[in-house]
Each structure stands twice: as C-alpha cells, then as structure tokens.
A and B are shown apart, each in its own frame.
Chain A
Amino acid sequence: MLKRWMNQFIFSCKDVSFQVCNRASLGLLTRFRLFLHSLVCGPCRNYIVQIEQLDSSMKDLISSRQNSLEQTNLDELTKRIINKHGN
C-alpha cells in the first residue's frame, strides 16, 4: 500500500517534463514532488538544466533582436500615430 501511495505521489518523468515548463505557477506541494523526483532521476535533472538554458537563450535572442531596432524609426512611428489619432 505504501509502495502504491509512493508511486502516486512521486511524479513520472513525463509529469516532471510538463511541470518544469510551467514552474512559475506551481504550488509548494508540486515543487516538493518535483524536487523528490529530481533527487533520484539523472535524466530529469539534465532536462531541468536544458529548459533553464533554453529560457536564458530565448531572452538573449529577443534582446539581441531588440538592440538592432532603429530607435529613430520607432520614435517617428510613435509621432505619426499620436498625430493621427489625437485631437
């Protein structure tokens, strides 16, 4: 019975993969269950690091795109929109 309870309480790798991607919205108990699983599962620890690397790369990618924008063009566009819609 204890074994069955443990099997239900500890996440499967597939559950972990889903929860890690939505970590910001997790409650304490779910975080604890994730932690327990990651203690005993090397592949899931690798997966968690991969997802963290992915998040960080995405932020670098978007900021590199933003840095390449011509600020003057945006300022001109902003002025055009204000003049068009304001009385």
Chain B
Amino acid sequence: MATDNFSSPDFILRLKKKEMEAVSQLVEKYNPVLYRGAMAQLKEPVSAEEVLADTWEAFFAAIDRFEGKSHIRTFLFGILYNKIRERRRHNARFIDLENPDPIIDMQFANDGHWANQPMDPERFVGASQDLEAVENCLEALAEKQKQAFYLQEVEGESREEICKILEVTSTNLGVLIYRAKNQLRICLEAKAVGL
C-alpha cells in the first residue's frame, strides 16, 4: 500500500524494522529526488551514485535514532549534503558570512547607491541564456551557496527546511542566496561584455 506520509510514526517504525515494502516506497519516492540533488552539485553520474549509496547507508544506520522531529525529506537531504561536503571538503572554500563580501560591496557607493550600475537586461539576457556560461559561473560559487541556491530555486524547499538541511540561520540563508545570485550576476555581466 502506497503512503503519502513518510514521516508518520507508523511508517518510521516499519522503516526501523527494515520492512521491504516500506523501504521500497521510501527509496522509490526519494532516490530520484536525491539523485537530482547530487547531480546538481557533483555533475558526475558516478560520483552522484556513490554519494547516493553512502547517503542511504547512513540513513538506514541512523534510522533507529530518528525521532520524527523533522520531515524525513529534510533528514535525507541533510545526510546527502553532509556526504557531498565530506567528499569535497578538500577543495571547499570557507564562506565568511559575518563580514561583507568585497566583490559585492564594490558594486555600491558608501551612500548605498550603485557604483557599478547593472547592465541593460537586453545585453545581459544573451549571457544568461548561454547555459554553458551559466554553468561556468555556477561552478565558481562556494559549495554552500550552490546548495542553498539549488534547494530554494530548483527544489522549492521552504526556508525553514533549507536552514535545517544546511544548518544555518534564516539570516545567513538570506546572505548565502544574496551572494550566490550576485556573484552569478556579476560573472554573467563580465561574460556579456565579452560577447
């Protein structure tokens, strides 16, 4: 019997017993979603599959400790992003959320007005529709910015869920999204100038 409520105590209990039907329902529902999430971050199918296998491994190892306080999707995405972080820790860049970002700050004068005015959207659209250019700019973002951007703009997760998954405050999430979008925008403007 298919279920829509994967976070119900009854369903969680069945998962803890590793009942084939419950495991099957959960994995069939969330494996494609998690795979999309892993691919969006890693781009490599082989790496995405490995991270996915590790994620489910960790999920079933931790299911006995899952108390149902958050949605099971949040729990799964939290594990997925931890696995991705572990995998990329060696080249992950530290993001300082407390201090201003100098690249973005240079766009504004001291009075808060634009120092470098945004380009005419008609010129910008050429670069923004070039998916290869967008992809190159996206790769330059820090890991957590990419994850926040993906969860909000593509998966449509609520801010509350994203904060739980990435373990950031709502204010920090706002800063992550702001910096991600502006760094992409500045990068694409530079590409548009070169078109």
Contact = CB atoms under 8 A, between A and B. Distances in A.
B124 A85 contact: no
Interface size range of chain B in the complex: 35 or more
A17 B182 contact: yes
Interface size range of chain A in the complex: 35 or more
A contacts with B: majority SS: helix
Contacts of B108: 13-14, 17
Contact of B135 (A43, A61, A81): A61
A25 B159 contact: yes
B75 interface: no
Contact of A58 (B45, B60, B153): B153
Nearest to B173: A22
B contacts with A: majority SS: helix
A17 B179 CA distance: 10
Q: Which 9 A-B pairs have the closest CB atoms?
A: A12-B112, A86-B20, A86-B23, A49-B121, A43-B117, A47-B118, A14-B112, A46-B118, A21-B178
B39 interface: yes
A54 B141 CA distance: 14
A66 B43 CA distance: 10
A58 B32 CA distance: 19
B53 A81 contact: yes
A78 B55 CA distance: 13
Interface of B: 17-24, 27-28, 31-32, 35-36, 39-40, 43, 45, 49, 52-53, 56, 60, 107-108, 111-114, 117-121, 124-125, 128-129, 131, 134-135, 138, 149-150, 152-154, 159, 170, 174, 177-178, 181-182, 184-185, 188-189
Contacts of A24: 152, 159
Given A13-B114, A58-B149, A64-B131, 20 more contacts: A12-B113, A14-B112, A44-B118, A46-B119, A50-B185, A54-B128, A55-B153, A60-B131, A61-B138, A69-B45, A74-B35, A77-B31, A81-B53, A81-B56, A82-B20, A82-B27, A84-B56, A86-B18, A86-B23, A87-B17
